[in-house]
Structure 1
Amino acid sequence: MAGTGGNVGARDIVRAGGRTGRRGRPRRVQRPSVETASNTEDEGSATGGNQNNNEGVFGSHEELMNWVQNLARSLGVVAVTKRSNKYPNGFVYKVVIMCDRGGKYKVKDSSKVSGTKKTDCPFELEGKYSIEYNSWTLTMICDEHNHPPVQHMEGHPYAKRLTDDEFSLVAELTRMNVAPRDILSILKERNLSNASTISTIYNARTKIRMSEQAGNSPMQVLMSILHSNGYVYEFTTTGSNELENLFFVHPISFDIWRAFPHVLIIDATYKTNSYNMPFVQIVGVTSTNKTFSIAFAFMQNEKIESYTWVLNCLKLTLDKCMHPRVILTDRELALVNACKEVFPNATQLLCRWHISRNIFKNCRQSIRSKFSSHLQHFEGDMDYSMMKNWDLCDLQFDSKGVRVLPPVGLRAGGFFPIPGDNLKTLEGSVRLD
């Protein structure tokens, strides 16, 4: 260590030089010898440099920067470009390198008080390109740091950056649908000094996606994906060539759907995309009671015509196959009527989860008041026992009331009359006609 207060000196950064240089007295920086380089985890070979060349001469700007950054990182500091000079054709002929903690924080006009890692570190190197020798030389301007080296590089944004090769690998693995955590593991296995975090991978994936979508709207990107990945899809457009309806099925889902066409579960959501188009998801059930996604659709509206178009597209995929026997939906009347029109022989059932939600929403207060009298000799309260486990309860209802059979382990339960003002709501929640 050179200087005072545990500062990192020039010989700690470059492992060479003998004397301690100071600002105003620049000197040539030499590469480490073969013996020294082998003791510093082969920094020269890692950057493609020639270890037999002990002078501070580099073949390119990239080679110089890689050598400095890798060596600095192994010693607990991060070297970054302070400024560079270029010829009119864009060729860089001079670069000034500084510590990432150099400079001063520029105070912004804000009431927010924020910290900074800047310590005005004076460390500085200078690289110049020689036209005569077609090479780069590295010169020390100031060799002192005013801060101790760090133990972990994960806290430095610059150290977390991906190299060009690593970025290309992330793009390739992303196209192969590899999970971000697995991508990070692969990068760290290939490069033990990699300081990237999971957020680095997510940011890289976002950058890749934005570059692929450049100049295209989200809907254009979706149509391109459907075409390039072999989806079965149909769409309609308006007179102004705007998307009206879109139906698509994944190739694998298409094969499973044709093998198990007996049961359909259909539900629609809205306000789930920037276009506010209703989104329909169609799910099937296998012979082992496992659900799988069949098809998806974007619709212009939730009217019978739109649902009929979606179901007709679904019906066309069942060429020479059995039509569904059971269709499960919520009480969306337009969807119910469309199902009757397209699949008239199918039995229609209402989703039990939606029934439970409707009873819970519209009859909760009534059930609460009736149920409270039964809790005097039971442990616990109603919200914890029955209401919290409402989805697990077995409901038996008629025009006069609801019988709630609680799940195993809960002793509360009973029959609860429904007030007249809630009876019509309940009947509408559980009846198709």
Structure 2
Amino acid sequence: MSDSDLSENEKHFKNVYEGVPEKIDGDGHDDDGKSAEDVSDTDSDSANEKYKAIPDLTADQIRGLRFCSSLDALKFYSSYAKSYGFVVRKDEVRRDERKNVVMRQYVCNKAGLRESKYFTMVRKRSHKPLTRTKCQAKLRIRLDYRTSEWKVVSFVEKHNHEVTPSKYMHVIPAYRTLSESDKAQVDSLHSSGVRTCHIVGFMTAQKGGYSRLGFLKEDLYNYINRQKHYKLRGGDARAAISYLRGKADNDGMFYSKYTTTEDNKLKNVFWADGCSRVDYQCFGDVLAFDATYGKTKYNNPLVIFSGSNRHSQTIIFGWALLVDETMETYKWLLETFLEAMSNKHPKSVITDGDGAMRKAIKQVFPGASHRLCAWHLYKNAKDNVKNKLFLTGFSKAMYYDFTIDEFEEHWKNLVSEHDLVGN
């Protein structure tokens, strides 16, 4: 189909929404040799007219639109949705015999209904609030083989629910984002020592209010945290490595080891001071290996190796921060621990029962007996048993200093008292 076969209305919106320039060569330039990233004042004005025209379009005009790609159609409908107070969701898609997409449908995010099976499902937590209202608003496009364009074949304008007022659109997650210019400004201010809360206030005043900011305070905090996550070239990771090197200069027996990813980001780190290494040689027959002390703000598991001296005091043998809790990571950690402790193997290892941890222990400490931590056993019982009298007796069995015969007698009485014989 040539342009002469199109109506004047179709020609107008075809030119507006197909984008300028119409063709980009392999070097990123249009037919006139101008870079696609270079935007002149005229181009900027055209873009503003294009954006302002979207809310003014009638339903008939939208039904006559054509797009160069389905992505262009999605961008248009998303801009339209933002102007009218709703969010777009991808819906139905159809393909031809060659598996090429020939039809796409975009709908309001409140289209459809929650499946009935979720209402009868037994849940510990209450159901999330209902958000689907079976809204019929949609934009359907189909590929025109003759022109290789995507034309609108169906457009439903009306919603069966209230749309979001424009003054609240900036809090909708789908429309909250930091632009590249925002990120550059945030990076510059943060590297200069400006606190995050002050950056938010400055950018809010700069843009004329929270509604024009484009993101929330939480989004900015999350972005800054992601930027300094694991990076060795600056921030907390570099400070940590420098601290370990300083400790090694002051402690001849200090030991540390760390690994990095392919893109030079901190992965795993282990350290033990001279006192810890000496204590392990004296009291390292029983090793407590615990990864449940919580995680850092970078979501790294903190692992602590501990034991007990002759005065029943807890002593620390080493520390580690890990990137994850897989068997390979635990294996590296235990091998590094052995290297730091002159290859002395423990006789017994106490853990929280993690599956990956258990596999690593069997490979690195094949001769050590593996036992579960009493605290974790009691916690598991407390979470699953609601009988307070039984829990009191169970706690006594876990923590009292019984002889073998005394423990057997106490356990037998506890089981019999609560009719648990045979369970």
Q: TM-score w.r.t. structure 1 length?
A: 0.37
Q: Relative CO higher for 1 or 2, CA cutoff 8 Å, sep ≥ 6?
A: 1
- Indicate the structure with greater helix content: 2
Q: TM-score w.r.t. structure 2 length?
A: 0.38
Q: Which has the larger radius of gyration?
A: 1
